[in-house]
Amino acid sequence: MLRIIATRVVLGILTLLAVSILIFAATEILPGDVASAVLGQGATPETLRVFRKELGLDRPAHVRYAEWFTGAIQGDFGKALTNKRDILTSVTPRLKNTLFLAGYAALIAVPLSVALGILAAINEGKLADRLANIISLATISVPEFFIAYLLILFLAVKLRYFPSLSTVFADMPFAKKLHVTALPAVTLTMLVAAHMLRMTRSSVLSIMSQPYIEMAFLKGLSRSRVVLTHALPNAAAPIITVIALNLAYLIVGVVVIEVVFVYPGIGQFMVDGVSKRDLPVVQACGLIFASAFITLNTVADVLSILVNPRLRHPI
């Protein structure tokens, strides 16, 4: 089993490496380069040449990639083009904010959606199941900002329970921070909970069609007993994968939500970087997002190997 896990981790690292090349190459191979993107079409060849030299673009691509990547691993992302500030110092507090928000949402979403998903599976076809089905389908079908604005309109503007903008700062008391970020956290929760609920339900139900489940029913066990003690342990692997995948989705979903609530996170930072065409910032944020995504996916795979007894003893 150790070998399978090790293979998976190595594969994750290789993917990360390939992705870092892709991120770097996306800004290299494509026609034009950072200099012409920043200076725009009006730039003379002379200013372009000087600017390229200043950015070090006159050196071959693989040398710059090696420099960029080794720097990035050590936390040195270089300086932002627009304000010349060190990217790491601007990213760190924002990353903390984003992780806080994502963690907050995950803490509500994971137990809630797994419990509701199992409940829906137990009551398959009954009113509760169909209600959960319709509500989660509707949540998946609408854009993130729609849910966010609805929540703002009712909970912030009409009822005044929460502020409509999530302004946070470093030395804010924890309870206050939870209150201020409640709306974006609830929005994120609704987004991922819907996915998780549906996938938990369907992975429990797909186990339910197995012969040993029929056997359990034939023994005369109740439906909830069959689901909880026979189906659930075997459905655990897909459910854990689903959770990790959705946490990965949470990391991305956070971008739009941060913009809606003007929350100072890394998603907003990246969007700002894109509109200012600040490529080093965009590359750094892209790499951080991608590594979080790949890490969570790898963790999902490793966990599903650990909990699945059949994968634990390979022949």
Partner 1 sequence: MRLFGHKPTTLAWVGLAIIGVFSAIAIFAPLLAPHEEGAVVSDTWAAASGSFWLGTDNIGRDMVSRLIYGARMTIGVALACTILSFIIGTTLGLLAAVGGTLLDQVLSRIVDVMLSIPLLVFALMILSMFGPSIPTLVITIAILDSTRVFRLARAVAVNLVVRDYVEAARLRGEGLWWLMRREILPNALPPMISEFGLRFCFNFLFVAGLSFLGLGIQPPYADWGGMVRENGRAISFGITAPLWPAIAISIVTIGVNLVVDWILSINARPSGASAEM
Residues that bind partner 1 (CB under 8 A): 15, 18-19, 22-23, 26-27, 30, 32, 37, 137-138, 141-146, 149-150, 152-153, 156-158, 164-165, 245, 248-249, 251-252, 255-256, 259-260, 270-271, 273-275, 277-279, 282-283, 285-286, 289-290, 293-294, 297
Nearest distance in Å: CB 221, partner 1: 30
d(CA 30, CA 239): 40
Nearest distance in Å: CB 244, partner 1: 13
d(CA 265, CA 267): 6
What lies within 8 Å, CB to CB, of 222 at 6+ separation is none
Nearest distance in Å: CB 226, partner 1: 26
DSSP codes joined into one string, 175-189: HHHHHHTHHHHHHHH
Nearest distance in Å: CB 313, partner 1: 26
Closer residue to partner 1 in complex, CB, 200/226: 200
Closer residue to partner 1 in complex, CB, 37/221: 37
- Number of neighbours of residue 175 by Cβ within 10 angstroms: 8
Closer residue to partner 1 in complex, CB, 84/313: 84
Instruction: Let me know how long the chain is.
Output: 315
By the 8 A CB rule, do 223 and 122 touch? Answer: yes
The residue type at 195 = H
Closer residue to partner 1 in complex, CB, 30/170: 30
Helices 144-151, 182-208: axis angle to 10 degrees equals 130
Closer residue to partner 1 in complex, CB, 122/235: 235
